[in-house]
Amino acid sequence: MLRTALKPRWLGLLAIVVLVMLTFGMLGLWQLNVARDKGTAEQVRSAPLRPVVDLAAVLTPQGPFPLDGTGRRITATGRYDGPAQVLVTPRRLRGQAGYWVVTPLVVQATGARIAVVRGFVTDPKQALPPRPAARVTVSGTLALGESQTTVHDGPRLLDGQLAVLDLSALVNRWPGSLYNAFVFATAEQPDVTSAAAPAMRRVPPPALVNSGLSWRNAAYALQWWVFALFAGYMWWRMVRDDYADSHYLDKAMAPVGESRKVTNV
């Protein structure tokens, strides 16, 4: 069959098929990028319109982060664990360098902790923790934990400081169960942060990244890739049929006594 495939006509057709497969593959990638762009646009457009829900409706302690969780507006009631507070640096807010103040909120319903970005300060001395006994309802925007992708090359971190808000690093710092997310606090009831640290400013949630997907365009991408595979399959099928026809013809034209000696070409 290899000799059949190496015939000039099949090699010429193979070149065309490869070109077609590459074209279909690129069209599939284009549709996939369109799917991501549309999905992100839909997510950005719909995020402010989704209702505010209790944390329990979106996430469970140690549970997986939901696919549509980024940018979700939630509320959670509990008590801040002030002594476990950490600072994330370097961070910037409106052109100023400083620190994110991240305090674990012990959720009343579960007893698990969720990291809350209470605000931004330019001096660690401004990051005063709230009273530990104060019960508070935090309203904010949900976000997925950051990952350690680069080596910290800034000033040496002090005890209680982190370069990124990596939730896996907090597991060893905070006791008990941990939610696989953190919250950008937009409001508190009562406002214990302003009462304890008036210099602290709220951190606005970042713009959503490419995490959404338009399934319609994703299906178009898959369709183009199926077409590419089908083109390759059709070339193989035609070569196989040509080989089978020539093999059958050789057997038919061979003398009766020699038909058994015909081997594959």
Q: At 229, which amino acid appears?
A: L
In a domain, 46, yes or no: no
* Pair of tokens at residue 86: 């950490």
Six token digits for residue 72: 């979700």
184 and 222 inside one domain: no
Q: 182 and 115 in contact (C-beta within 8 Å)?
A: yes
- Residue-number span of the structural domain to which 19 is assigned: 2-39+214-252
Render pLDDT for 230-246 as a digit per residue (tens, 0 to 9).
888 888 888 888 777 77
Instruction: Report pLDDT digits (tens) over 93-144.
Output: 999 999 999 999 999 999 999 999 999 999 999 999 887 778 999 999 999 8
Sign of the Cα torsion 118, 201, 130, 136 reads negative
Query: For 176-218, what is each residue's pLDDT tens digit?
Result: 999 999 999 999 999 998 888 889 999 998 766 544 556 677 7
Do 35 and 148 fall within a single domain? no
Measured in residues, the chain has a length of 265
* Residues 171 and 223 placed together within one structural domain of the fold: no
Same domain, 103 and 157: yes
Per-residue pLDDT, 141: 93
Helix (H) or strand (E) holding 140: strand 135-143
Strands 161-162 and 73-80, by their bridges, are: unpaired
* In-domain check, residue 153: yes
